[in-house]
Amino acid sequence: MQKKRTDNFSKFAEKKKGAAIKESYRQEKRKVKADARAAGEEMRMLKKAKARGEAIEPKKVEDKRAVGKNPERKKTAYQQKDFKKGPRNAAPGKTKLINGPEQASDTAIQDRDSLIPLNKFIAHAGVCGRREAAELVKGGKVTVNGDKIFEPGFKVSQADKITVKGKAIFLQKNNVYILLNKPKDFITTANDPQGRKTVLDLIKGATLERVYPVGRLDRNTTGVLLLTNDGELAQKLTHPSFEVKKIYEVTLDKAVTKKDLELIVSGVTLEDGFVQADSVGYADSKSKNVVGIEIHSGRNRIVRRIFEHLGYDVKGLDRVLFANLTKKNVERSKWRILNEKEIRLLKFMNKSFIRKNKEAV
């Protein structure tokens, strides 16, 4: 009986060559990447739909991890998401929208490295220390994206909308707060085309940050002036709706009558409208030409114009208080950096330096 001859040549000839094997691997990798891109796009569409409140049935896409292992294995795009790459607080099977439905963004979700504990965020925002911040959180005083959070270690980022006792807070980014006791003959501006001396000339060397004066004081008005690079705070302190308290010491050319003091409190009508002081009185009982006036209006040259309207010539005007800031221990032309407590009071618009409700007044 003749033995069957083995065709060894055919066995080797039919075997795929190295180049063909490499090409098949490339094709497989391309397919995996295409599937991953499709899954990612599907995931983004689901997020946007969820943010808009729409209900969309997730499409079936092939799981990239199943290719080459188990072709029968399938997952939806929503199931395929790797939650280890998402926000740390997101529970499995639930997508966490960092900014809430109105402000959801892929950038915010991907910004995982900037996540910090909630109590640390509050402390860095200048509200209080970490321990006090933890108590605020535990007491239900803090919300993140509209939800009350009770865990001090809850991870948040700058993209989150965080409030403490109903007031939004933000991380400080090299913010600088400088109190200056302004002298005469300096103008309250960052630069002057006419080359006159500005308040920034007085704080040279105080900081490398670019700061600006909050509000204005006339060239010949002296006293408390705040300079900062915190634009949000500056806007609050100068906005008429907050009615921040200001106290001035006014030196006049003659004694002020009690009748005129009463008139200033009841209100006078100037060329730009009605205005009244919150309180007014003699600064020194022996000298009736030196008066203290508390006012919340931020109108231009308002104190000078009130007294000029009543027939007085203002010889000197010194702001002794602005919000919670005084010139105590700060000599004329000198400055100092605000401490943390002063900054907190300013940021949270402490009730002690904001005018009461008009009904209460």
Q: Which amino acid appears at position 2 of this protein?
A: Q
Q: Which residues fall within 8 angstroms of residue 81, CB to CB, at 6 or more apart?
A: 43, 95
3-state secondary structure of 322: strand
Q: Is 272 one of the catalytic residues? A: no
Cα–Cα dist 174/1, whole Å: 96
Cα–Cα dist 120/116, whole Å: 7
The alpha carbon of residue 148 and the mean position of all alpha carbons in its chain are separated, in whole angstroms, by: 19
> How would you classify the pairing of strands 287-295 and 246-252?
antiparallel
- Other beta carbons less than 10 A from residue 332's beta carbon: 13
Phi, psi of 122 (to 5 degrees): -60, -40
Burial of 24 (0-12, 13-18, 19+ CB in 10 A): exposed
CB 159 within 8 A of CB 111: yes
CA atoms within 13 Å, Cβ hemisphere of 15: 7
Cα–Cα dist 34/29, whole Å: 9
Q: Considering 106, 160, 192, 218, which one is annotated as catalytic? A: 218
For the chain, the maximum distance between any two Cα atoms, rounded to a whole number of angstroms, is: 143
* CA R_g for the chain: 34
Q: Which residues are identified as catalytic?
A: 218
